[in-house]
Structure 1
Amino acid sequence: MSEKKPSQISVIQHIEAALYVLNQLCIGFVTLWVSWMCLRKGLTGIYLHVWLVTFGFIFLMAEGMMCFYDGSWLTLRYTRKYKTAAHVVLQVIGGGMGVAGCLIQLIRDKWTIAVTTHASLGFAAFILCLISLLSGLAAVLARAMSRAVSPLINKTFHVVLGFAAYVIAMMAQYYGYAQTSLFKGQGADFVILMRVATLVSMVLTTIGAIKSLYQKVVSLTS
Protein backbone atom coordinates (compact mmCIF):
# COMPACT_ATOMS: atom_id res chain seq x y z
CA MET A 1 0.00 0.00 0.00
CA SER A 2 2.80 2.41 0.85
CA GLU A 3 4.34 1.93 -2.61
CA LYS A 4 1.15 3.09 -4.34
CA LYS A 5 0.77 6.33 -2.39
CA PRO A 6 3.13 8.46 -4.52
CA SER A 7 1.37 7.45 -7.76
CA GLN A 8 -2.05 8.00 -6.18
CA ILE A 9 -1.06 11.46 -5.01
CA SER A 10 0.38 12.25 -8.44
CA VAL A 11 -2.84 11.22 -10.19
CA ILE A 12 -4.94 13.34 -7.82
CA GLN A 13 -2.64 16.32 -8.37
CA HIS A 14 -2.88 15.93 -12.14
CA ILE A 15 -6.68 15.76 -11.96
CA GLU A 16 -6.85 18.84 -9.74
CA ALA A 17 -4.50 20.73 -12.06
CA ALA A 18 -6.64 19.78 -15.09
CA LEU A 19 -9.85 20.85 -13.34
CA TYR A 20 -8.17 24.12 -12.32
CA VAL A 21 -7.26 24.86 -15.97
CA LEU A 22 -10.81 24.01 -17.09
CA ASN A 23 -12.18 26.32 -14.42
CA GLN A 24 -9.91 29.16 -15.51
CA LEU A 25 -11.06 28.69 -19.11
CA CYS A 26 -14.71 28.92 -18.05
CA ILE A 27 -14.08 31.97 -15.85
CA GLY A 28 -12.04 33.64 -18.59
CA PHE A 29 -14.64 32.98 -21.29
CA VAL A 30 -17.57 34.39 -19.30
CA THR A 31 -15.63 37.35 -17.90
CA LEU A 32 -14.04 38.37 -21.21
CA TRP A 33 -17.24 38.07 -23.23
CA VAL A 34 -19.36 40.01 -20.73
CA SER A 35 -16.64 42.66 -20.32
CA TRP A 36 -16.34 43.05 -24.09
CA MET A 37 -20.11 43.37 -24.49
CA CYS A 38 -20.46 45.91 -21.67
CA LEU A 39 -17.43 47.98 -22.68
CA ARG A 40 -18.84 48.28 -26.20
CA LYS A 41 -21.92 49.90 -24.66
CA GLY A 42 -19.82 52.33 -22.61
CA LEU A 43 -20.60 50.80 -19.19
CA THR A 44 -23.80 52.80 -18.88
CA GLY A 45 -27.13 51.83 -17.34
CA ILE A 46 -27.72 48.11 -17.01
CA TYR A 47 -24.33 47.35 -18.59
CA LEU A 48 -22.47 48.83 -15.62
CA HIS A 49 -24.43 46.55 -13.29
CA VAL A 50 -23.73 43.49 -15.43
CA TRP A 51 -20.00 44.20 -15.71
CA LEU A 52 -19.52 44.93 -12.00
CA VAL A 53 -21.27 41.78 -10.77
CA THR A 54 -19.64 39.57 -13.41
CA PHE A 55 -16.11 40.87 -12.91
CA GLY A 56 -16.55 41.03 -9.14
CA PHE A 57 -18.29 37.73 -8.43
CA ILE A 58 -17.33 35.44 -11.31
CA PHE A 59 -13.71 36.52 -11.71
CA LEU A 60 -12.27 38.15 -8.56
CA MET A 61 -14.26 36.30 -5.90
CA ALA A 62 -13.66 32.97 -7.62
CA GLU A 63 -9.92 33.63 -7.82
CA GLY A 64 -9.93 34.67 -4.18
CA MET A 65 -11.67 31.47 -3.14
CA MET A 66 -9.15 29.36 -5.05
CA CYS A 67 -6.08 30.89 -3.41
CA PHE A 68 -5.96 27.97 -0.96
CA TYR A 69 -6.88 25.30 -3.52
CA ASP A 70 -4.21 22.59 -3.83
CA GLY A 71 -4.51 22.51 -7.60
CA SER A 72 -3.97 26.25 -8.03
CA TRP A 73 -0.64 26.58 -9.84
CA LEU A 74 -0.85 30.37 -9.44
CA THR A 75 -0.53 30.23 -5.63
CA LEU A 76 0.98 26.76 -5.15
CA ARG A 77 4.45 28.04 -4.22
CA TYR A 78 3.28 30.84 -1.94
CA THR A 79 3.23 30.58 1.84
CA ARG A 80 -0.02 30.56 3.81
CA LYS A 81 0.59 34.19 4.75
CA TYR A 82 0.75 35.37 1.12
CA LYS A 83 -2.21 33.20 0.12
CA THR A 84 -4.25 34.79 2.89
CA ALA A 85 -3.22 38.28 1.77
CA ALA A 86 -4.17 37.54 -1.84
CA HIS A 87 -7.46 36.01 -0.70
CA VAL A 88 -8.37 39.07 1.36
CA VAL A 89 -7.51 41.55 -1.40
CA LEU A 90 -9.38 39.64 -4.12
CA GLN A 91 -12.42 39.02 -1.94
CA VAL A 92 -12.65 42.64 -0.77
CA ILE A 93 -12.31 44.06 -4.31
CA GLY A 94 -14.50 41.39 -5.91
CA GLY A 95 -17.14 41.50 -3.19
CA GLY A 96 -17.06 45.30 -3.26
CA MET A 97 -17.61 45.36 -7.03
CA GLY A 98 -20.44 42.84 -6.75
CA VAL A 99 -22.14 44.79 -3.97
CA ALA A 100 -21.71 48.04 -5.92
CA GLY A 101 -23.22 46.43 -9.01
CA CYS A 102 -26.25 45.23 -7.04
CA LEU A 103 -26.60 48.60 -5.32
CA ILE A 104 -26.54 50.45 -8.65
CA GLN A 105 -29.33 48.25 -9.98
CA LEU A 106 -31.39 48.70 -6.81
CA ILE A 107 -31.07 52.48 -7.17
CA ARG A 108 -32.04 52.28 -10.86
CA ASP A 109 -35.12 50.22 -9.90
CA LYS A 110 -35.96 52.68 -7.09
CA TRP A 111 -35.30 50.03 -4.42
CA THR A 112 -37.90 47.63 -5.76
CA ILE A 113 -36.99 44.01 -6.51
CA ALA A 114 -38.30 42.58 -9.77
CA VAL A 115 -40.35 39.40 -9.46
CA THR A 116 -37.79 37.15 -11.16
CA THR A 117 -35.51 34.41 -9.92
CA HIS A 118 -32.50 36.42 -11.10
CA ALA A 119 -33.49 39.54 -9.15
CA SER A 120 -34.38 37.62 -5.97
CA LEU A 121 -31.11 35.66 -5.98
CA GLY A 122 -29.16 38.80 -6.81
CA PHE A 123 -30.61 40.62 -3.80
CA ALA A 124 -29.86 37.63 -1.55
CA ALA A 125 -26.27 37.58 -2.83
CA PHE A 126 -26.03 41.34 -2.16
CA ILE A 127 -27.03 40.88 1.51
CA LEU A 128 -24.91 37.75 2.06
CA CYS A 129 -21.86 39.34 0.44
CA LEU A 130 -22.10 42.34 2.76
CA ILE A 131 -22.27 40.04 5.79
CA SER A 132 -19.49 37.85 4.38
CA LEU A 133 -17.16 40.83 3.99
CA LEU A 134 -17.76 41.77 7.63
CA SER A 135 -17.24 38.17 8.77
CA GLY A 136 -14.04 38.10 6.72
CA LEU A 137 -12.75 41.08 8.68
CA ALA A 138 -13.61 39.24 11.87
CA ALA A 139 -11.77 36.14 10.58
CA VAL A 140 -8.65 38.23 9.90
CA LEU A 141 -8.89 39.61 13.45
CA ALA A 142 -9.68 36.16 14.86
CA ARG A 143 -6.63 36.06 17.12
CA ALA A 144 -7.44 39.40 18.65
CA MET A 145 -11.05 38.29 19.21
CA SER A 146 -10.10 34.81 20.47
CA ARG A 147 -11.22 35.56 24.03
CA ALA A 148 -14.74 36.41 22.87
CA VAL A 149 -15.16 33.97 19.97
CA SER A 150 -13.21 30.85 19.06
CA PRO A 151 -11.08 31.55 15.93
CA LEU A 152 -12.15 28.20 14.49
CA ILE A 153 -15.86 29.02 14.91
CA ASN A 154 -15.27 32.49 13.47
CA LYS A 155 -13.48 31.15 10.41
CA THR A 156 -16.02 28.35 9.92
CA PHE A 157 -18.83 30.91 9.95
CA HIS A 158 -16.92 33.00 7.40
CA VAL A 159 -16.40 30.01 5.07
CA VAL A 160 -20.10 29.12 5.23
CA LEU A 161 -21.17 32.70 4.51
CA GLY A 162 -18.65 33.14 1.70
CA PHE A 163 -19.66 29.84 0.16
CA ALA A 164 -23.37 30.74 0.29
CA ALA A 165 -22.81 34.25 -1.10
CA TYR A 166 -20.73 32.96 -4.00
CA VAL A 167 -23.09 30.11 -4.95
CA ILE A 168 -26.17 32.35 -4.82
CA ALA A 169 -24.38 35.04 -6.86
CA MET A 170 -23.46 32.46 -9.49
CA MET A 171 -27.03 31.16 -9.62
CA ALA A 172 -28.27 34.74 -10.04
CA GLN A 173 -25.87 35.05 -12.98
CA TYR A 174 -27.12 31.72 -14.35
CA TYR A 175 -30.75 32.86 -14.39
CA GLY A 176 -29.76 36.32 -15.62
CA TYR A 177 -28.68 34.96 -19.00
CA ALA A 178 -32.24 33.86 -19.83
CA GLN A 179 -34.24 36.41 -17.84
CA THR A 180 -32.62 39.60 -19.15
CA SER A 181 -32.74 40.96 -22.69
CA LEU A 182 -28.96 41.44 -22.88
CA PHE A 183 -28.21 37.82 -23.76
CA LYS A 184 -31.38 36.71 -25.52
CA GLY A 185 -30.30 38.41 -28.72
CA GLN A 186 -27.27 36.10 -28.93
CA GLY A 187 -29.47 33.04 -29.48
CA ALA A 188 -30.62 30.13 -27.33
CA ASP A 189 -27.48 28.08 -27.94
CA PHE A 190 -25.24 30.89 -26.70
CA VAL A 191 -27.35 31.30 -23.55
CA ILE A 192 -26.95 27.56 -22.89
CA LEU A 193 -23.18 27.83 -23.41
CA MET A 194 -22.92 30.71 -20.93
CA ARG A 195 -25.05 28.83 -18.42
CA VAL A 196 -22.94 25.67 -18.70
CA ALA A 197 -19.67 27.63 -18.34
CA THR A 198 -21.05 29.41 -15.27
CA LEU A 199 -22.24 26.19 -13.60
CA VAL A 200 -18.97 24.37 -14.32
CA SER A 201 -17.01 27.29 -12.86
CA MET A 202 -19.24 27.42 -9.78
CA VAL A 203 -18.80 23.70 -9.05
CA LEU A 204 -15.03 23.67 -9.62
CA THR A 205 -14.43 26.87 -7.65
CA THR A 206 -16.28 25.58 -4.59
CA ILE A 207 -14.25 22.34 -4.33
CA GLY A 208 -11.61 24.04 -2.18
CA ALA A 209 -14.25 25.76 -0.01
CA ILE A 210 -16.06 22.46 0.58
CA LYS A 211 -12.76 20.80 1.60
CA SER A 212 -11.98 23.66 3.97
CA LEU A 213 -15.47 23.58 5.47
CA TYR A 214 -15.28 19.81 5.96
CA GLN A 215 -11.93 20.08 7.75
CA LYS A 216 -13.23 22.83 10.04
CA VAL A 217 -16.41 20.91 10.89
CA VAL A 218 -14.33 17.82 11.71
CA SER A 219 -12.08 19.94 13.96
CA LEU A 220 -15.12 21.44 15.71
CA THR A 221 -16.75 18.07 16.36
CA SER A 222 -13.60 16.16 17.37
Structure 2
Amino acid sequence: MSAGPEKSTSVLQHIEAALNVLNQLCIGFITIWICWNTLRTGLSGIRLHVWLVSFGFIFLMAEGMMCFYDGNWLTLRYSRKQKTFAHVVLQLLGGGMGVAGCLVQLIRDDWSISVTVHSRLGFAAFILCLISLLSGLSAALARSLSKVVSPLGNKTFHIVLSLGTFVTAMLAQFYGYTQTRIFKGQGHDFMVLMQVVTLLVMVLTCIAPFKALYHKFANFRN
Protein backbone atom coordinates (compact mmCIF):
# COMPACT_ATOMS: atom_id res chain seq x y z
CA MET A 1 0.00 0.00 0.00
CA SER A 2 2.93 2.36 0.67
CA ALA A 3 4.39 1.92 -2.81
CA GLY A 4 1.84 4.31 -4.31
CA PRO A 5 2.77 7.44 -2.27
CA GLU A 6 6.49 6.68 -2.55
CA LYS A 7 6.19 6.37 -6.31
CA SER A 8 4.12 9.56 -6.46
CA THR A 9 6.70 11.45 -4.40
CA SER A 10 9.51 10.15 -6.58
CA VAL A 11 7.73 11.27 -9.75
CA LEU A 12 7.15 14.72 -8.26
CA GLN A 13 10.83 15.00 -7.34
CA HIS A 14 11.81 14.08 -10.90
CA ILE A 15 9.43 16.69 -12.30
CA GLU A 16 10.83 19.37 -9.96
CA ALA A 17 14.39 18.42 -10.91
CA ALA A 18 13.54 18.62 -14.63
CA LEU A 19 11.86 22.01 -14.20
CA ASN A 20 14.90 23.24 -12.28
CA VAL A 21 17.22 22.18 -15.10
CA LEU A 22 14.96 23.98 -17.58
CA ASN A 23 15.03 27.07 -15.37
CA GLN A 24 18.83 27.01 -15.11
CA LEU A 25 19.07 26.80 -18.91
CA CYS A 26 16.69 29.76 -19.29
CA ILE A 27 18.61 31.81 -16.72
CA GLY A 28 21.88 30.96 -18.46
CA PHE A 29 20.47 31.86 -21.87
CA ILE A 30 19.27 35.30 -20.79
CA THR A 31 22.37 36.07 -18.72
CA ILE A 32 24.83 35.06 -21.44
CA TRP A 33 22.95 36.97 -24.13
CA ILE A 34 22.64 40.12 -22.01
CA CYS A 35 26.34 39.98 -21.05
CA TRP A 36 27.41 39.45 -24.67
CA ASN A 37 25.13 42.22 -25.94
CA THR A 38 26.35 44.77 -23.36
CA LEU A 39 29.99 43.89 -22.66
CA ARG A 40 31.02 43.67 -26.33
CA THR A 41 30.16 47.34 -26.85
CA GLY A 42 31.33 48.59 -23.47
CA LEU A 43 29.48 49.23 -20.23
CA SER A 44 28.54 52.83 -20.78
CA GLY A 45 25.23 54.66 -20.59
CA ILE A 46 22.16 52.49 -20.65
CA ARG A 47 24.23 49.33 -21.24
CA LEU A 48 25.58 49.57 -17.70
CA HIS A 49 22.02 49.80 -16.38
CA VAL A 50 20.90 46.80 -18.44
CA TRP A 51 23.87 44.66 -17.39
CA LEU A 52 23.59 45.48 -13.68
CA VAL A 53 19.85 44.87 -13.33
CA SER A 54 19.82 41.79 -15.58
CA PHE A 55 22.81 40.09 -13.98
CA GLY A 56 21.69 41.12 -10.50
CA PHE A 57 18.01 40.22 -10.66
CA ILE A 58 17.85 37.42 -13.25
CA PHE A 59 21.01 35.52 -12.37
CA LEU A 60 22.11 36.25 -8.79
CA MET A 61 18.74 36.91 -7.17
CA ALA A 62 17.05 33.96 -8.90
CA GLU A 63 19.83 31.62 -7.81
CA GLY A 64 19.67 33.02 -4.29
CA MET A 65 15.94 32.39 -4.08
CA MET A 66 16.42 28.74 -5.07
CA CYS A 67 19.18 27.91 -2.57
CA PHE A 68 16.78 26.14 -0.17
CA TYR A 69 14.75 24.47 -2.95
CA ASP A 70 14.86 20.66 -2.78
CA GLY A 71 14.65 20.44 -6.56
CA ASN A 72 17.78 22.54 -7.04
CA TRP A 73 20.57 20.11 -7.90
CA LEU A 74 23.18 22.87 -7.50
CA THR A 75 22.62 23.12 -3.73
CA LEU A 76 21.12 19.69 -3.04
CA ARG A 77 24.18 18.39 -1.16
CA TYR A 78 24.77 21.61 0.80
CA SER A 79 24.10 21.75 4.53
CA ARG A 80 21.49 24.16 5.87
CA LYS A 81 24.26 26.48 7.04
CA GLN A 82 25.94 26.44 3.61
CA LYS A 83 22.63 27.12 1.86
CA THR A 84 21.98 30.05 4.18
CA PHE A 85 25.43 31.49 3.48
CA ALA A 86 25.01 31.10 -0.29
CA HIS A 87 21.52 32.65 -0.11
CA VAL A 88 22.74 35.69 1.82
CA VAL A 89 25.73 36.29 -0.46
CA LEU A 90 23.75 35.87 -3.68
CA GLN A 91 20.88 38.07 -2.48
CA LEU A 92 23.20 40.81 -1.29
CA LEU A 93 25.16 40.80 -4.54
CA GLY A 94 22.06 40.47 -6.72
CA GLY A 95 20.05 43.05 -4.83
CA GLY A 96 23.04 45.38 -4.66
CA MET A 97 23.60 45.15 -8.42
CA GLY A 98 19.88 45.65 -9.10
CA VAL A 99 19.71 48.73 -6.89
CA ALA A 100 22.92 50.10 -8.43
CA GLY A 101 21.54 49.54 -11.93
CA CYS A 102 18.36 51.42 -11.07
CA LEU A 103 20.36 54.27 -9.53
CA VAL A 104 22.51 54.52 -12.66
CA GLN A 105 19.42 55.00 -14.80
CA LEU A 106 17.74 57.39 -12.35
CA ILE A 107 20.86 59.59 -12.37
CA ARG A 108 21.00 59.48 -16.18
CA ASP A 109 17.34 60.58 -16.31
CA ASP A 110 17.87 63.37 -13.72
CA TRP A 111 15.81 61.43 -11.16
CA SER A 112 12.70 61.47 -13.33
CA ILE A 113 10.64 58.40 -14.17
CA SER A 114 9.31 58.03 -17.70
CA VAL A 115 5.73 56.99 -18.38
CA THR A 116 6.67 53.56 -19.76
CA VAL A 117 5.55 50.42 -17.94
CA HIS A 118 9.19 49.29 -17.83
CA SER A 119 10.33 52.41 -16.00
CA ARG A 120 7.52 52.35 -13.47
CA LEU A 121 7.98 48.67 -12.70
CA GLY A 122 11.74 49.18 -12.52
CA PHE A 123 11.34 51.95 -9.96
CA ALA A 124 8.93 49.79 -7.94
CA ALA A 125 11.48 46.96 -8.01
CA PHE A 126 14.14 49.42 -6.84
CA ILE A 127 12.10 50.44 -3.78
CA LEU A 128 10.99 46.88 -3.01
CA CYS A 129 14.55 45.61 -3.29
CA LEU A 130 15.80 48.14 -0.75
CA ILE A 131 13.07 47.10 1.69
CA SER A 132 13.69 43.42 0.93
CA LEU A 133 17.38 43.73 1.75
CA LEU A 134 16.48 45.29 5.10
CA SER A 135 13.93 42.54 5.77
CA GLY A 136 16.61 40.00 4.91
CA LEU A 137 18.79 41.43 7.66
CA SER A 138 15.83 41.21 10.01
CA ALA A 139 15.21 37.58 8.98
CA ALA A 140 18.87 36.73 9.56
CA LEU A 141 18.55 38.16 13.08
CA ALA A 142 15.17 36.49 13.64
CA ARG A 143 16.24 34.70 16.81
CA SER A 144 17.76 37.83 18.30
CA LEU A 145 14.57 39.75 17.55
CA SER A 146 12.25 36.98 18.76
CA LYS A 147 11.10 39.07 21.74
CA VAL A 148 9.90 41.79 19.38
CA VAL A 149 8.78 39.87 16.29
CA SER A 150 7.90 36.22 15.85
CA PRO A 151 10.76 34.47 13.94
CA LEU A 152 8.21 32.60 11.81
CA GLY A 153 6.35 35.81 10.97
CA ASN A 154 9.62 37.63 10.36
CA LYS A 155 10.87 35.07 7.85
CA THR A 156 7.45 34.74 6.21
CA PHE A 157 7.31 38.50 5.64
CA HIS A 158 10.81 38.37 4.11
CA ILE A 159 9.81 35.59 1.70
CA VAL A 160 6.67 37.46 0.59
CA LEU A 161 8.59 40.69 0.09
CA SER A 162 11.42 38.98 -1.80
CA LEU A 163 8.89 37.23 -4.00
CA GLY A 164 7.17 40.52 -4.78
CA THR A 165 10.51 42.17 -5.55
CA PHE A 166 11.58 39.41 -7.91
CA VAL A 167 8.27 39.27 -9.78
CA THR A 168 8.24 43.06 -10.20
CA ALA A 169 11.84 43.06 -11.44
CA MET A 170 11.12 40.26 -13.93
CA LEU A 171 8.06 42.07 -15.27
CA ALA A 172 10.19 45.20 -15.69
CA GLN A 173 12.68 43.07 -17.62
CA PHE A 174 9.83 41.67 -19.74
CA TYR A 175 8.73 45.14 -20.87
CA GLY A 176 12.31 46.35 -21.14
CA TYR A 177 12.98 44.25 -24.24
CA THR A 178 10.48 46.24 -26.28
CA GLN A 179 10.59 49.60 -24.47
CA THR A 180 14.37 50.06 -24.19
CA ARG A 181 16.19 51.35 -27.25
CA ILE A 182 19.25 49.15 -26.66
CA PHE A 183 17.31 46.11 -27.87
CA LYS A 184 15.87 47.71 -30.98
CA GLY A 185 17.06 46.05 -34.13
CA GLN A 186 17.21 42.57 -32.61
CA GLY A 187 14.07 41.48 -34.45
CA HIS A 188 10.49 41.11 -33.24
CA ASP A 189 10.53 37.31 -33.07
CA PHE A 190 13.70 37.24 -30.99
CA MET A 191 12.29 39.79 -28.57
CA VAL A 192 9.17 37.66 -28.15
CA LEU A 193 11.44 34.68 -27.44
CA MET A 194 13.31 36.68 -24.78
CA GLN A 195 10.02 37.70 -23.19
CA VAL A 196 8.77 34.11 -23.10
CA VAL A 197 12.03 32.85 -21.58
CA THR A 198 11.94 35.65 -19.00
CA LEU A 199 8.40 34.70 -17.97
CA LEU A 200 9.51 31.07 -17.70
CA VAL A 201 12.33 32.08 -15.37
CA MET A 202 9.91 34.12 -13.27
CA VAL A 203 7.37 31.28 -12.93
CA LEU A 204 9.87 28.46 -12.37
CA THR A 205 11.96 30.42 -9.87
CA CYS A 206 8.84 31.29 -7.87
CA ILE A 207 8.14 27.60 -7.20
CA ALA A 208 10.78 27.58 -4.45
CA PRO A 209 9.46 30.57 -2.42
CA PHE A 210 5.87 29.40 -2.89
CA LYS A 211 6.78 26.02 -1.41
CA ALA A 212 8.53 27.78 1.46
CA LEU A 213 5.45 29.93 2.06
CA TYR A 214 3.23 26.85 2.05
CA HIS A 215 5.34 25.29 4.81
CA LYS A 216 5.40 28.57 6.78
CA PHE A 217 1.60 28.89 6.67
CA ALA A 218 1.26 25.23 7.63
CA ASN A 219 3.38 25.99 10.69
CA PHE A 220 1.20 29.00 11.49
CA ARG A 221 -1.86 26.75 11.61
CA ASN A 222 -0.05 24.33 13.90
Residue matched to 1:67: 67
CA distance in 1, matches of 2:195, 2:77: 33
Q: CA deviation at 1:199?
A: 0.2
Amino acid at match of 2:186: Q
Per-residue deviation at 1:220?
2.0
Q: d(CA) in 1 for partners of 2:143 and 2:204?
A: 31
SS at structure 2 position matched to 1:16: helix
Q: What is the aligned partner in structure 2 of residue 133 from structure 1?
A: 133
Where do 1:1-222 residues align within 5 Å? 1-222=1-222
Shift of 1:171: 0.2
Residue identity over aligned pairs, in percent, reads 68
Aligned-residue CA RMSD in angstroms?
0.8
Amino acid at match of 1:214: Y
Matched residue of 2:118: which SS? helix
Alpha-carbon distance, 1:5 to partner: 2.3
- Between the aligned partners of 1:10 and 1:211, the Cα distance in structure 2 is 17
Output the CA distance in 1 between the equivalents of 2:59 and 2:146: 32
Secondary structure of residue in 1 paired with 2:67 = helix
How far apart are the structure 2 equivalents of 1:162 and 1:191? 27
**1:184·1:191 contact (CA, 8 Å) conserved in 2?**
no
CA distance in 2, matches of 1:90, 1:18: 23
Tell me how far apart the structure 2 counterparts of residues 38 and 199 of structure 1 sit (CA, whole Å).
Answer: 21
**1:67 aligned counterpart, secondary structure:** coil
- Structure 2: 5+ residue runs without aligned partners? none
Which ranges of 4 or more aligned residues in structure 1 deviate by more than 6 Å? none
Whole-angstrom CA distance in 1 between matches of 2:219 and 2:71: 23
* SS in structure 2 of the partner of residue 43 of structure 1: coil
How far did 1:9 drift? 1.7
Deviations 1:179-215 (A, max 9, x none): 1112221100000010000000100000010111122
Contact 1:55 1:97 survives alignment (8 Å) = yes
Deviation of 1:7 after TM superposition, in Å, equals 1.6
Which digits, 9 at most, give the CA deviation of each residue in 1:102-147, with x for residues without a partner? 0110000000001000000000000000000000000000111111
User: How many angstroms does 1:217 deviate by?
Assistant: 1.9
Measured after TM superposition, the shift of residue 221 of structure 1 is: 3.4
Say which SS state the counterpart of residue 186 (structure 2) adopts. Answer: coil
Give the total of aligned pairs: 222
**For 2:155 and 2:6, how far apart are their aligned partners in 1?**
32
2:3 match: secondary structure: coil
Secondary structure at 1:143 match in 2: coil
Distance 1:3 1:211 in 2: 24
How big is the shift at 1:6?
2.3
